[in-house]
């Protein structure tokens, strides 16, 4: 399973683990053309855990699993000009996988 750290405030999505085992799959997400199938493959077959560093009720920062709302909010923040419906969380996850893959090679 891969881990992607997201942040809706900065906004960003990046791998937070050693992704070399799945490097070829990640590169497939960055090829020109429609990368949806490659990103969906990572989402559905390899698996991705989306994490966020957030402040808890006591003001302490914690690294925890992101909620669906945080995943959607991050996708909206990154792709603010897109007309894509990021309320579809699976769709938002695929976009964030694409973003993380591109930041990995960039």
Place of tokens 């881990």: 3
Structure tokens at 38: 């490659």
Structure tokens at 58: 């006591």
Cut 0.85: pTM above it: yes
Q: Rounded to a whole number, what is the distance in angstroms from the first to the last CA of the chain?
A: 22
Provide the pLDDT for residue 35. 87
Q: CB count, 10 Å around CB of 1? A: 8
Residue 12: exposed, middle, or buried by beta-carbon count in 10 A (0-12, 13-18, 19+)?
A: middle
Provide the pLDDT for residue 8. 86
Domain that holds residue 45: 2-105
Q: Average pLDDT, whole number, for the chain?
A: 91
Provide the pLDDT for residue 76. 95
Q: CB count, 10 Å around CB of 97? A: 27
Q: How many structural domains does the chain have?
A: 1
Portion of the chain with pLDDT greater than 70, in percent: 98
Residue pair 92/72 in contact (Cβ under 8 Å)? The answer is: yes
């Amino acid at each position: 399973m891969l881990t992607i750290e997201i942040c809706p405030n900065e906004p960003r999505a990046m791998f937070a683990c050693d992704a070399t085992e799945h490097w070829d799959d990640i590169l497939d997400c960055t090829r020109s053309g429609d990368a949806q199938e490659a990103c969906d493959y990572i989402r559905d077959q390899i698996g991705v855990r989306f994490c966020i560093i957030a402040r808890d009720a006591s003001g302490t920062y914690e690294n925890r699993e992101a909620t669906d709302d945080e995943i959607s909010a991050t996708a909206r923040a990154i792709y603010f000009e897109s007309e894509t419906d990021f309320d579809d969380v699976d769709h938002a996850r695929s976009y964030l996988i694409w973003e993380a893959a591109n930041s990995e090679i960039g």
